[in-house]
Structure 1
Amino acid sequence: MSERVVPPDARRRRRPTKQGVVLSEELIVATALRLIEEHGADALSVRRLGRALGADPSSLYRYFRHTDDLMLAVADELIGRTLRTWRPSGDWRADLRDLGLRMHASALAHPWAAVLSSYRVTGRVHEIQAVETVLGVLRGAGFPDAEAVRVYHAFIDQALAFGALDSASTALPKAAREAEAAVWRATYARLPAATHPHIAAAARHLVHDMPHSSYPAALDLLLSAAAARLAEARTQGRPNDVTGHAG
């Protein structure tokens, strides 16, 4: 899509296209997400999307100004899908762990879209909801505002980074993934203690751990550090006066 602006009140088409398709922003985003997963980064051409929708490609401009606008909508939809499955318990640490793991699982379910969208800031409804939600959990636990933002920033960036990293690995051909996993057994596990004493001592753990994502462990480390910062803030008498579970 090229840069082309359509007035907001003209962006919705209620009657079917010539092919009988009633377009909506939701349908276009869902179709775009499917195409990205099927064809990768080059999927979002207006021609291919129009063909998949059975619609005139020009009709897409009623909803999105260009493909980057659509990509932001796809990124926001991934956030929305995660939020729709998450329910807070009132325990800030358990809630953030659950949310982080759900974000990571969503990325792995849509690896190409996760790789393409992990570094984007959408400013759309679901992203705004996510920012409000995570800050609410942190401020409700008693984090001072500045500390809440620091923890939020680290939490979100960590989830997005691991989502993109592990999604890129998932998107590799199966043979390539298996070959890389085998390196830990075929190379690292066979290094002699005489030349590589530390690798040799930890070899069985490397073989077991390294083929798997370290995100759950990294997330736990982050949350432990955040809990320590919260305890420090309480000791110094700096928590926010926000009603909420402070566990």
Structure 2
Amino acid sequence: MNTLTGDSDGAAPPGRLATGRRRRTTKTGTALSHELIVSTAIRLLSQHGSDALSVRRLGTALGADPSSLYRYFRSTDDLVLAVADELIGMSLRDVRITGDWREDVRRVGTSLHRTYTAHPQAAVLAASRVTRRPNEMKGVEIGLGILCRAGFPPADAARHYHRFIDFTLGFAAIDAAAMALPAEASAADRAAWHQTYACLDADRYPHIAASVDALAETMNDSAYPGALEVFLDGLEAALSRALGRAAGGAVGADVR
């Protein structure tokens, strides 16, 4: 996507792209701003899906001339990145770092997952993106800081942060996509565990038959909370190994 959709020629005037310009006033008297456009885009995405990201629909919702949006965003992709960064910012607002690394990773992950699934249409577009914007940078710094303070060397902290964030956003994207399904499709998927799977031939599918009640109970809820605990157990084991290597190296240095 190269430009905000709905424009006659798709070209954003190059001299009008810098941020920090004087705010324009909408037809309702509201000052048009980067923040207002992003929040409106998130709201429209929740109502209309990705079709909401057109200058015509955004302009109508804002009570502004559609062409004025080009003063703030070069393209649809530029707006998507801003939406993605806003979701990250929303997830970080209520996170309090305690100094207990396991609890802090849990808090960051749970908040990020909760924010994305609260805005499923926006999350589907945003979960895979690298925003290169302040909220994302803040989030990366917080995540690396938690892991480094726990005792991971910087290179290990980077690798584990990558695993953690992809793990969390992967779950968020799957759960958001399920929540964004049309009502009829969502109802059919939920019913399948109680209906289709409950009726399978036990001789042909013995493991499903033995687990069918548990499948019906668990498969319609997000697996993220339980999977996060498994991930944290693995991270704790990795930390023990890293601290053991560090201690071994220190003893070797003392011997020399």
SS of 1:236's partner is helix
Q: Deviations over 1:97-147 (max 9, x none)?
A: 111111111111100000011111110000000000000000010012222
Q: CA separation in 2, counterparts of 1:82 and 1:10? A: 24
CA separation of 1:171/1:8 partners in 2, compared to 1, >3 Å: closer, same or farther? closer
| Aligned pairs (5 A) from 1:194-213 | 194-213=203-222
Structure 2 residues not aligned, in runs of 5+: 5-9, 249-256
Taking structure 1 as the reference length, what is the TM-score of the superposition?
0.90
Taking structure 2 as the reference length, what is the TM-score of the superposition?
0.87
Instruction: Confirm whether residue 41 of structure 1 aligns to residue 50 of structure 2.
Output: yes
Q: CA separation in 1, counterparts of 2:184 and 2:27? A: 44
Structure 1 residues not aligned, in runs of 5+: 240-247
Corresponding residue of 2:242: 233
Aligned pairs, how many? Answer: 239
Given residue 84 of structure 1, which amino acid in structure 2 is its aligned partner?
R
Q: CA separation in 2, counterparts of 1:9 and 1:34? A: 25
- What is the Cα deviation at residue 15 of structure 1? 5.0
| Aligned pairs (5 A) from 1:84-233 | 84-233=93-242
- What is the Cα deviation at residue 59 of structure 1? 1.3
- What is the Cα deviation at residue 7 of structure 1? 5.2
Given residue 62 of structure 1, which amino acid in structure 2 is its aligned partner?
R
Instruction: Confirm whether residue 64 of structure 1 aligns to residue 69 of structure 2.
Output: no
Q: Deviations over 1:58-85 (max 9, x none)?
A: 2112111122111111110000001111
Coordinate RMSD, CA, aligned: 1.8
- What is the Cα deviation at residue 45 of structure 1? 0.7
Q: CA separation in 1, counterparts of 2:141 and 2:172? A: 21
CA separation of 1:56/1:233 partners in 2, compared to 1, >3 Å: closer, same or farther? same
SS of 1:21's partner is coil
Residue identity (%): 54
Given residue 83 of structure 1, which amino acid in structure 2 is its aligned partner?
L
- What is the Cα deviation at residue 17 of structure 1? 4.0
Question: Larger relative contact order (C-alpha < 8 A, sep ≥ 6)?
Answer: 1
SS of 1:85's partner is coil
Q: CA separation in 1, counterparts of 2:74 and 2:247? A: 46
Q: Deviations over 1:31-79 (max 9, x none)?
A: 1111111110111111111111111112112111122111111110000
CA separation of 1:19/1:193 partners in 2, compared to 1, >3 Å: closer, same or farther? closer
Q: CA separation in 1, counterparts of 2:189 and 2:206? A: 23
- What is the Cα deviation at residue 167 of structure 1? 0.8
Given residue 160 of structure 1, which amino acid in structure 2 is its aligned partner?
L
